[in-house]
């Protein structure tokens, strides 16, 4: 079972402390990474998908996805929290991120074949180290964007 909580970035930023306190109260702990943020307990999981404007260092929107086999007290508290701050909450019947992760990883492997800079070849051609590092940094950012895009397509 999944529920989605969609909000603009400003709303999430203002209320993220209360959101994190709510998760901690119900025993969920940070288990993710900056690329794939999520909090989990033995029976529940909350995943976040953030749409950021990297140039302006601004959060445009946030999507929080609660997942568990059964409804729980945390879900009810999240719904109350969402209602209190004016966030849209809805049940999500699409496949979970874990269910599509193999497909996403496969698509990213193909994407990497085309777009990942070949560092050894670039060095052999005399490309400056700073340029190679910039190429790799740009590739990593684009790869993260592509990963978010693929997960969004697969779970919508």
Q: Evaluate if pTM is beyond 0.85.
A: no
CATH assignment, 2-93: 3.30.310.80
Q: Which residues contact 41 (CB under 8 A, 6 or more apart)?
A: 26, 27, 28, 29
Q: What angle, rounded to 10 degrees, do the helices at 97-115 and 129-155 form?
A: 150
Residue 67 pairs in a beta bridge with: 2, 45
Break the chain into its structural domains and give their ranges: 2-93, 98-155
What are the tens digits of pLDDT across the range 99-151?
Answer: 778 888 999 999 999 999 999 999 999 999 999 999 999 999 999 989 888 88
Locate 34 and state its tokens.
């900056």
- Burial of 139-153, coded b for 16+ CB within 10 Å and e otherwise, reads eeeebeebbbebbee
Rounded Cα–Cα distance for residues 63 and 11 (Å)? 11
In this predicted structure, what is the pLDDT of residue 97?
65
């Amino acid at each position: 079972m999944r529920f989605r909580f969609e909000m603009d970035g400003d709303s999430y930023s203002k209320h993220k402390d209360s959101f994190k306190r709510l998760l901690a109260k119900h025993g969920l702990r940070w288990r993710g990474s900056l690329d794939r943020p999520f909090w989990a307990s033995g029976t529940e999981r909350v995943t976040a998908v953030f749409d950021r404007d990297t140039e302006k260092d601004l959060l445009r929107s946030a999507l929080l996805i609660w997942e568990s086999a059964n409804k729980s007290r945390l879900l009810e508290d999240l719904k109350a929290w969402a209602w209190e701050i004016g966030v849209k909450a809805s049940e999500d019947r699409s496949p979970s991120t874990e269910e599509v992760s193999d497909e996403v990883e496969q698509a990213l492997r193909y994407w990497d074949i085309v777009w990942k800079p070949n560092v050894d070849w670039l060095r052999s051609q005399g490309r400056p180290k700073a340029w190679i590092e910039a190429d790799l940094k740009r590739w990593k950012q684009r790869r993260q964007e592509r990963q978010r895009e693929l997960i969004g397509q697969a779970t919508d």
